Structure formats: C-alpha cells, structure tokens
Amino acid sequence: MEDFWTGVLWAVKIWLYLIISLIMIPAMFGFSLGISETYMTILVKTLEWATLKMQKAHAEEQALKASAANGLIQREGGSMEKELGELRASRPKPPVGGDFTLSDCFYFTRRGIESIVEDEVTQRFTSEELVSWNLLTRTNNDFEYISLKLTLVYGLGIFVRYCILAPLRITLACIGLSWLVIGTSAVGLLPNWRIKSWLSEWVHVMCYRICARGLSATIRYHNRENKPQKGGICVANHTTPIDIVILCNDGCYAMVGQVHGGLMGVIQRAMVRSCPHVWFERAEMKDRHLVTKRLKDHVNDKKKLPILIFPEGTCVNNTSVMMFKKGSFEIGGTIYPVAIKYDPKFGDAFWNSSKYSMVSYLLRMMTSWALVCNVWYLPAMHQQEGEDAVQFANRVKSAIAHQGGLVDLQWDGGLKRAKVKDTFKEQQQKKYSSMVVGDDSSSNSD
C-alpha cells in the first residue's frame, strides 16, 4: 500500500516538474518550445481528414448544406421606399385622398415573417452554426455513425480532451490565477518606484501567458506597429471574457469594469494593488459623469496604461459587431481599435451568459480542441471635427467589422435582455407616413 502512495506522489511530482519546465518557464519569458504548434498541425490535419470523410458519406447533402450555410431564406434587401414603389407600380393611383394602397401591408408582412424565420439580433446571442462537424458533440451537428475509423478518432479525441488536456489545462489555469493574485499583491507592497510598474507588467503578462496556455490558445497578432500606446483607449469587439487574456498576452492594459463578487472579486482586488485599473461599484456605474471623469483623468495621465474597453457591452457570438455604446468615445483621447476573430472550428469561444455560468463555460473551453484566434491592431483613430460621439463610434465599429470579417450591425447588444424601444417603431411609422402623406401636405389620409 505504501508503495502505491509513494508511486502516486512520485507521478504527481514528475507531472508538476514537467508543467514547470515545459510550460511555466517558457511562459515566463515569452518563448515557445513548439509543442503547441505540433499539436495544432496534427489537429488541423485530423479535422481536414474528418471533413473529407464526412463529405464523401454525404455528397449531395453537403452541397445543400453549403448553400444554406449562410441563411435559411434569401432576402431582397430593398429600402421601404423602393419596395413599396415596386408594389404600387402595377396599381392605379387612388383618385382622391392620400397615397395609401391596400397592398402596402404586403411589404410589412413579408418583412415580419422574414424576421420570424431569421433575424439579425437574437441569432447573434446563440452559438454560431458550423458548416462541417468538428468532432465535438455539443455543436449544431450531432454525432452520427459514418465509418469505424471516424468513430475511433472521435473516441480518441474524447480521451485526449477529457483525460489529458483537461487536467493539464485546469492545473495551468489554477497556477496562473493564483500566481496572478499572489504576484500582484506582492508587487503592490513595493514602494512606488519605476521598477514597480515594470514588475507589475511582467507579472500580469506572465500570468496571462500561463492562462492562455491553459486554453491552448494560438493567437496571431497582425500589424503590431499599431499596438495601443499609453494614454489611449483600446476598443475591441467582445465575444467572451477570455478576450482579455488574448489581448493581454501581447501587452498590459488598464481594465475598466464593475466590481464583482466571488472569485472575480478576489482577482480584481489583487490586480488593482499593483496597477491602476478602474473598477466601479455598481451604484457608481449609474453616475455617468463620475465614470467619464475617472476615465478622463486616467487617459490624461500619459504614464498610465491604455484603457481596454468593450463598447458593445455584452458578448456577441463572433459573427458580427453590434452597436458601440457612445460613452467610451466621449472621453476624448486616441482610440486604438482592435478586431478579434476566433476560429469556430476548434471550439466555440462565445460565452452565452444566459445559458452557462462562468465556471461551466471555462470547463467547456478547456475540453475543446483549442482556442485559435486572430487579432488585428488597426491604425489609431481620432474624432473628426463636426463628428459627434455616436458617428465616431459607428466609424470605429465599421473599421473593426471590416477588418475582422464580421457583419456590421446597428442593433444594440442590450437587446439580449431588454426589449426594443418604442421610438424605433415610431421611426418606421414615420417613414411610412411620410410616404403616404408626403412631407409637406397636410392632407389626412382618411
């Protein structure tokens, strides 16, 4: 019996030594031993092979799927004026009164039914549909028996993901997070010398690198010359809280956010000791002036780290960019846009917060294949003369959407939980009534 326990102890020791020498030390100094690269190459090859196998098995169905991959229906996206004009072209104009025709309801009805079948907003808050199965059961495609080989690979995949990768990743995440808390607290005790900020940055980046390895993140940074500078604001599209880990792998940011309880709270309190992050109490958050003022003070201090803000205010499923809240664009200072695009083939990065808690989301991420993502640094942007915050926010949003290959949407991400405001309906009605009545005529349509 004693032999057994010494054996276990010995195995654990070896395990930890391996982690430290193969992962922790490279992470500390930011170099790579090429293990994850090899893993990625094998993974890409396997998935390609599996796709090929499945395509062979369902040759016709695949063609159908591919054509339907981007939508269930085909829309004729004309404006209200154009479509109503076409509808009325074949109809005689009513002899008296306004310009109303009974067939006008066709336009609204078709639009309404189209949005029931497929809409732009609610679908952004559910997982993205995949074109081909990536050997994970939880995606839109369920497991189905195709061939013995494929089933064996699938089984092997489960073994590797749950029995080898998951324990390794969980150990790493624990080490990374506890190191973050200990490290930042320790640095926080130092006097305010120059070495403090240097050490704080080092501790932060090191912890994020360990965490990123805990998610097998393969991150490609593009246009590094545009990296956010001190005294600026970095804005990015938001898919998951992991976005922070991804961005901080390449440099430190000052975070802005609400004070959380639980595990997040412990981390937040530790971090703020070594580095000036901006955390707000829930009540303070409501006071817009106070928020703007604190952020302004931060930006004006050129020695402080760039602020990282996700102006969408909610996680979107990485197929689109939704409305940017104007608050972050009212602060002034240089805006550094960043586009983040995850590759859904290796695992769904989107955090569906209404369905999964933070911990179960992280466990899902750790049992996925890997986290592959591209980060583009865009050239700095400034507010132009005669441009208000909303227009500026839209300009930045389009730039990010264009670079990341995401759909640029006008809708507010807050609709995930709240209902749409009546004013939007009134806008539609106004548009139609101006067509029926005409802008200047006071003739009533009845």
- Which residues form the interface with other proteins (CB under 8 A)? 54, 58, 61, 64-65, 68, 72, 100, 102-106, 108-113, 115-123, 126, 132-133, 140-142, 144, 411, 415, 419-420, 424-430, 432-433, 436-437, 442, 444-446
Nearer CB in complex with other proteins: 225/422: 422
First vs last C-alpha separation in the chain: 94
Nearer to other proteins (CB atom), residue 279 or residue 411: 411
Q: Which is nearest to 327 in space by CA: 377, 290, 382, 360?
A: 290
Minimum CB separation of residue 141 from other proteins in Å reads: 5
- Closer of 21 and 137 to other proteins (Cβ): 137
Pick the closer one to other proteins by CB: 6 or 90: 90
Would you say 226 and 250 are in contact if contact means Cβ atoms under 8 Å apart? no
The angle at the Cα of 137, spanning 135 to 140, to the nearest 5 degrees, equals 100
What whole-number distance in Å separates Cα of residue 379 and Cα of residue 402?
13
Phi, psi of 238 (to 5 degrees): -115, 125
Query: Among 270, 243, 248, 244, which residue's Cα sits nearest to residue 259?
Result: 270
Q: CB of 384: closest distance to other proteins in angstroms? A: 30
CA distances from 247 to 209, 219, 310 (A): 10, 9, 12
**Backbone φ and ψ of 220, nearest 5°:** -110, 120
For residue 429, the minimal CB distance to other proteins (Å) is 3
Q: Which is nearer to other proteins, 126 or 357 (CB)?
A: 126
Cβ at position 316, least distance to other proteins in Å: 14
Question: Do β-strands 371-377 and 335-342 pair in parallel, antiparallel, or remain unpaired?
Answer: antiparallel
The least CB distance from residue 420 to other proteins, in Å, is 4
Per-residue tokens: 320: 């689109």
Question: Which alpha helices (DSSP H) does 275-378 contain, by range?
Answer: 282-286, 288-300, 358-366
Q: Which amino acid is at 48?
A: E
Q: How far is the CB of 444 from other proteins (least distance, A)?
A: 7
Closest CB to other proteins among residues 67, 192: 67
We find the least distance from the C-beta atom of residue 421 to other proteins, in angstroms, to be 9
Shortest CB 425 distance to other proteins, Å: 5
Nearer to other proteins, 337 or 413 (CB): 413
Compute the CA torsion angle 100, 105, 106, 110 (nearest 10 deg): 140
* Residue 117 host element (H or E): helix 104-117
User: Smallest distance, Å, CB 55 to other proteins?
Assistant: 10
CB of 139 to other proteins, least distance (A): 9
CA distance 371 to 213: 10
Closer to other proteins by CB, 160 or 436: give it: 436
In the 8-state DSSP scheme, what is residue 140? S
**CB-nearer residue toward other proteins: 132 or 216:** 132
Instruction: Name which of 264 and 415 has its Cβ closer to other proteins.
Output: 415
Closest C-alpha to 380, from 360, 395, 358, 359:
395
Q: How far is CA 194 from CA 297, 303, 353, in A?
A: 20, 11, 40
> Residue 130: which of 215, 60, 68, 218 has the closest Cα?
68
Q: Residue 213: name the closest of 250, 170, 184 by CA.
A: 170
Give the integer Cα–Cα distance in Å for 348 and 339: 17
